[in-house]
Amino acid sequence: MMELIFATNNSHKLKEISAMLGNAIRLLTPAELGINDDIPEDFPTIEENALAKARYIHRLTGRDVFADDTGLEIEALGGEPGVHSARYAGPGKDFEKNIDKVLEKMKDVNRRNACFRTVIALIKDGGEYLFEGKICGKIIRERRGSKGFGYDPVFIPDGYNVTFAQMSLEEKNRISHRSEAFRKLRSFLLKS
């Protein structure tokens, strides 16, 4: 079985990705390997952030590793919160405050288009690879649903009339930005 480190401390992400794994790949986390560092992710693009996180864990372990970074890109806010999605309302990474800030900034805005974009960076046998996934939709004016995490309660994907937070994990995984990037990663790994 292939072993791969997923360079994250986010239990929500781990749950989402683990639910999509077949038997061919076993995921390890930095914590399982005794690494509890706050992995730096303060670069100006999500591509650089994903690569930096993967490189950080690769340097410490020498093992194959991947990391993801995601941004919510809202058209009417010029692409914000984008790379700042986690800490949009301050360093506390508070999901509720982040949503409040978005809703406040968009209270007089009718153009509600937004996309989640994920980039996964893989380091395998010393080579570096990037995989992207994206889903577009609308930011609604009030929260709906209690599943998921982050901005899920205010995001309705195009073609749906429920938010990510109203979907089961399986439904979200069928269409989400992270699952698209992950499927590309998985098919690359299974071919190589």
Binding ligand IMP (rule: CB under 6 A), the pick from 4, 51, 52, 86 is 86
Give the nearest residue (CB) to ligand IMP. Answer: 150
**How many whole angstroms separate alpha carbon 187 and alpha carbon 192?**
9
Q: Which is nearer to ligand IMP, 63 or 97 (CB)?
A: 97
Site string for ligand IMP, 59-78 (x = CB under 6 A): ---------xxx-x------
Residue 119 has φ and ψ, to the nearest 5°, of -120, 130
Binding ligand IMP (rule: CB under 6 A), the pick from 6, 178, 179, 182 is 178
79: exposed, middle or buried (Cβ count in 10 Å: 0-12, 13-18, 19+) = middle
Question: Which of these, 147, 151, 167, 169, lies nearest to 159 by C-alpha position?
Answer: 167
Q: Which stretch binds ligand IMP (CB under 6 A): 23-31, 85-93, 120-128, 131-139?
A: 85-93
Question: Which of these, 154, 141, 177, lies nearest to 96 by C-alpha position?
Answer: 154
Does residue 9 bind ligand IMP (CB under 6 A)? no
69 among known catalytic residues = yes
Q: Which stretch binds ligand IMP (CB under 6 A): 20-28, 57-65, 136-144, 147-155?
A: 147-155
Per annotation, catalytic residue among 64, 68, 69, 152: 69
3-class SS at 60?
helix
Q: Which is nearer to ligand IMP, 70 or 166 (CB)?
A: 70
**How many whole angstroms separate alpha carbon 4 and alpha carbon 183?**
15
For residue 174, give every residue at least 6 positions away whose Cβ sits within 8 Å of its Cβ, in sequence order, or none.
Answer: none
Q: Which is nearer to ligand IMP, 63 or 93 (CB)?
A: 93
Q: Which is nearer to ligand IMP, 152 or 180 (CB)?
A: 152
Question: Which of these, 31, 33, 35, 25, lies nearest to 4 by C-alpha position?
Answer: 25
Does residue 80 bind ligand IMP (CB under 6 A)? no
Asked if 21 and 6 touch (Cβ cutoff 8 Å), the reply is no
Q: Mind telling me the catalytic residues?
A: 69
Residues that bind ligand IMP (CB under 6 A): 10, 68-70, 72, 85-86, 93, 95, 98, 116, 148-152, 164, 176, 178
